[in-house]
Each structure stands twice: as C-alpha cells, then as structure tokens.
Amino acid sequence: MIYNDTIVALATASGAGAVAIIRLSGKDAIEMASKNFKSVTENKTLNKVNTHTIHLGHIVDGQRVIDQVLVSVFKNPNSYTGEDVVEVSCHGSVYIQQEIIQLFLRKGCRMANPGEFTLRAFLNGKLDLSQAEAVADLIASDNEASHQIAMQQMRGGFSSEIAKLREELLNFASLIELELDFAEEDVEFADRSQFKELVERITFVLKRLIDSFAVGNVIKNGIPVAIVGEPNVGKSTLLNALLNEERAIVSDIAGTTRDTIEDELVINGIGFRFIDTAGIRDTNDVVESIGIKKTFEKIEQAQVVVYLFDADVISHDDKKSENIIIEIEKIKNKYPLKPLLIIANKTDKLTEDKKQSLNSILSKVEGSQYLSISAKSGKGVEDLKTQLLNFVNTGALKNNETIITNTRHYDSLLKAFQEIQKVKYGLETGLSGDLMAIDIRQALYHFGEITGEITSDDLLGNIFANFCIGK
C-alpha cells in the first residue's frame, strides 16, 4: 500500500505559539515546497538541495510573501514516514499557519488524517505496529512512569522480544511441516526436547508480559485510590491537602460530599487518581444514599482503599470506636485482596491521654497498616504519600522490564498464550504433527498481530484514528 498523494498538516499544537511547524510528506512534497519557497541565497531551489538540510527563506504565493521561514528537507527513505518530507517552521500565528496550509492544499496537497504520518511510517517499515502505538502513548504520557514505558516500547524493546520468539517458533513450525511431507518415512526434523524447551520459554515470557498488564494499565491510567469513611471525618479535607488546592467543599455538616469527586496527583513519577466519596452511614436521605451506593462502587474500582476516621471522636466514645472496628472488618471481609490503609485523622485535636486510648484502639485493627494524620494542618500527609507508593508494585518499572499497557497487545498475548498451552499439551501427549502445526500457526498469528505482520484495514483504522492530526 504505497500512497500516491502528498499530505500536509500542522505538526505543532494548534493555537498561537512562538514557532509552528507544518509538515508535508509524499512524493511531491519537495517539489511543492520548492515552488513556493524563495531562498535568501540566490539561485537556491529546494529540489536541488541535499537531504537533511535546513534553509532560510520565504514562503511565497506568487508575488505575495506569506512568512519568513526555515525549511527542513528529508529525502526518502531517511525520514519519519519513509517518504520525502518537508518541514516548514514558520512564525506561530494561527493566521500564518492557516495561510501556509491553505497554500499547499491549493497546490495539490491533501489534509492529513489523524496519525497518517505515523501510519505511512508503519506501512513503509520505519516502525512496527507496537512502536507506532507507542508514539501515541508517548505524546499522551504525563508522568515519569508512563513516559518510561512508552519510550521503551517505541525503541522496540517489546517488539524485538516478541519478534524473536515468533521467529524461533516459526522455525519449528517449518520443521514440523516438513516432517509432514515425509510422513511415510517417519522422520523427525524438529527436535522434540528442544521444542519443549522453547515452548517453556515462550510460556514464561508470555506469562510475565500478561502479568505486567496489571501494573501497566494502572500506570497508564493512574492508580485509583478511594478515600472512604463516615461523614465528617475529613475525607474532603484530606483530598484538598493531597492536591494542595481547595478541590472539594469542606464543612462541619455531616453529608457534605454527596457525589464522588476525583482528581489526579503525580507522586514520584507515578500517577494517582484520588476519589473522595460520600461518607458511609445508614441514611434516609435519598440523594445521600445514592452517593453511598456509589462509594461502594468506587471501592470496587479502586486499587487502594484509604479508610479515614475521626481520632478525636473515637478516643472518647467507646461505642463509636467499636463501630469503626466493625466497619473496618466489613471492608476487609468484602475486599480481602484490596490494599487497605487505615488513617486516624484530626490528631491535632488530641490531648496526651486521648493519644493513649487511640493507640489501644489502633492495636485492635490488627493486620492493617495505619497512620495518624491531621488533614487540616497537613501533618502526616507526606507519610501517607510514601505509604501509597509502597502499595504499588514498581519493581518491574525499576528493573526496566517490558510492561504492557495496551489492551490490544494484552488481548493478543492472552490468545497466543492459550495456543501455546495447546502446543505444550500436544507435545506432552504426542499429538500428531499436522494437528500441532495448526496450533503453532495460530500462536504465530497472534504474535504477528502485535507487531503488525498481520493487520487488517479495520485494525489500522482503529489504531490511527486515535492519534492527533499531524503525527
């Protein structure tokens, strides 16, 4: 699929800026730019310059000078798209950007579709599909962790891991298929013990990649942390303290927060999404009870639960403190696998003897991690952030292992894994070569889906539609 037309788009963000870049790609890119460019150096035309050079001059439309610009020329195949590419750096006024783009459209360029430059790069073999997808992730990355993962994927760490396994598997598939041609002679070209070893290795790698999706997914989307507890204990105050802004309304009226409020915060390069919820209690207020129902839904969706209680109330009210302990046990029973952090708030109000009784209450919530803070003064909020980081398994990230963040890859890996399990079973049970070859081909198919050896127009359309125009 080689394109005949030349595309144009603004490569920089829309709106006014110091400089804007307009990018052209396609077989007429250099010729078109050349016809509308007047170099400051006499007798210089763009269609005669060397590749990877930059030229000062003016974009002109007949006699009319539109702007003074710098033009970069990249000749195929050594460009981002693999085609001839011209980048015009102009002054960043929206008017100038539009004038230059309109000019090239009049001269026969077509407006690029979203992601079309990267699509062409993929079709010309400049990057594989998972690398192309990483370009979009890289542009979307807004913290250290998601940046690191996208960067690694774009540089081909993941692709080469998959490609290597695919190639080894392909070798065996060929050998087994060769055996089929010599069926009468009963020969074995494919060494079964070596093949078994390969299948084990592939299983191991696939499992690691599939498991990494749990981490990758939360890193990409932010780790959801639900802040829950009875009304008036200071949940909204804590959200504000974490974000360092007055995000949620705080008041001493119980039931202030009725809907859930969410906001993001990056802690040490990892994105967290904090969810302030309506206080949990039995209520007859219809609106509030809807909010409480939502609270449980939010716990369900959260990766970490922060349970807040009012240390001041607890330390002088035995009945209340008993209730709190029951409440905590309830959450633990309902969500046994969810990391739970218990927080005593309003410790600024505590006198020395109340602190004693608080400690004895906290010792009853055994097996849970707890912290004492004052959301109002901010005391202990930094410790809370440290605790939250401890909950996140960032081991894989630190070790620079490949982490899957893309649902499409996850899907293909799962399917490849299932097929490989069939192959493994076939090997153990001495399945005939022709049947085994079918399973291997299936596994190969799913590997190929990831890197783009196997694609369909629908799939490509879906992937690149999510890009911005100009990339």
With CB cut-offs between 5 and 8 Å by kind, which of Mg ion, ligand GTP, none does residue 237 bind? ligand GTP
Per-residue contact string for residues 197-236; x = within reach of Mg ion by CB under 5 A: --------------------------------------xx
Smallest gap, in angstroms, from Cβ of residue 300 to ligand GTP? 19
- The answer to whether 55 and 44 have CB atoms below 8 angstroms apart is yes
Q: Judged by CB under 6 A, does residue 297 bind ligand GTP? A: no
- The answer to whether 410 and 215 have CB atoms below 8 angstroms apart is no
Smallest gap, in angstroms, from Cβ of residue 239 to Mg ion? 8
The answer to whether 291 is annotated as binding is: no
Q: Judged by CB under 6 A, does residue 344 bind ligand GTP? A: no
How many residues at the interface with Mg ion, by CB under 5 A? 4
With CB cut-offs between 5 and 8 Å by kind, which of ligand GTP, Mg ion, none does residue 470 bind? none
Q: Judged by CB under 6 A, does residue 372 bind ligand GTP? A: no
Residue whose CB is less far from ligand GTP, 229 or 470: 229
Q: Judged by CB under 6 A, does residue 287 bind ligand GTP? A: no
C-alpha distances (whole Å) from 151 to each of 121, 139, 359, 411 are 17, 10, 47, 21
Q: In this chain, which of 16, 254, 287, 435 binds ligand GTP, going by CB under 6 A?
A: 254
From the list 316, 303, 308, 321, the residue with the least C-alpha distance to 278 is 308
The answer to whether 257 is annotated as binding is: yes
Q: In this chain, which of 86, 205, 250, 437 binds ligand GTP, going by CB under 6 A?
A: 250
Q: Judged by CB under 6 A, does residue 442 bind ligand GTP? A: no
With CB cut-offs between 5 and 8 Å by kind, which of ligand GTP, Mg ion, none does residue 349 bind? ligand GTP
Q: In this chain, which of 220, 235, 273, 471 binds ligand GTP, going by CB under 6 A?
A: 235
C-alpha distances (whole Å) from 148 to each of 129, 134, 382, 383 are 18, 11, 25, 26
Q: Judged by CB under 6 A, does residue 234 bind ligand GTP? A: yes
The answer to whether 235 is annotated as binding is: yes
Residue whose CB is less far from Mg ion, 6 or 236: 236
With CB cut-offs between 5 and 8 Å by kind, which of Mg ion, ligand GTP, none does residue 184 bind? none
How many residues at the interface with ligand GTP, by CB under 6 A? 23
Q: Judged by CB under 6 A, does residue 349 bind ligand GTP? A: yes
Q: In this chain, which of 97, 124, 257, 451 binds Mg ion, going by CB under 5 A?
A: 257
Rounded Cα distance, 156 and 153, in Å:
5
Q: Judged by CB under 6 A, does residue 232 bind ligand GTP? A: yes
Residue whose CB is less far from Mg ion, 153 or 236: 236
Smallest gap, in angstroms, from Cβ of residue 257 to Mg ion? 3
With CB cut-offs between 5 and 8 Å by kind, which of ligand GTP, Mg ion, none does residue 92 bind? none
Q: Judged by CB under 6 A, does residue 257 bind ligand GTP? A: yes
Q: Judged by CB under 6 A, does residue 380 bind ligand GTP? A: no
Token reading at 62 = 């007949």
Q: Judged by CB under 6 A, does residue 252 bind ligand GTP? A: yes
With CB cut-offs between 5 and 8 Å by kind, which of Mg ion, ligand GTP, none does residue 353 bind? none
Residue whose CB is less far from ligand GTP, 93 or 244: 244
The answer to whether 252 is annotated as binding is: yes
CB < 8 Å & 24+ apart, contacts of 456-464: 460/119, 460/122, 463/115, 463/129, 463/132, 463/133, 463/408, 464/113, 464/114, 464/115, 464/116, 464/118, 464/119, 464/132
With CB cut-offs between 5 and 8 Å by kind, which of ligand GTP, Mg ion, none does residue 252 bind? ligand GTP
Smallest gap, in angstroms, from Cβ of residue 281 to Mg ion? 12
Q: Residues annotated in the binding site for GTP, as ranges?
A: 232-237, 251-257, 276-279
Q: Residues annotated in the binding site, as ranges?
A: 23, 87, 126, 232-237, 251-257, 276-279, 471
Q: Residues annotated in the binding site for Mg(2+), as ranges?
A: 236, 257
Binding site for ligand GTP (CB under 6 A): 231-237, 250-252, 254-257, 278-279, 345-346, 348-349, 374-376
Binding site for Mg ion (CB under 5 A): 235-236, 256-257
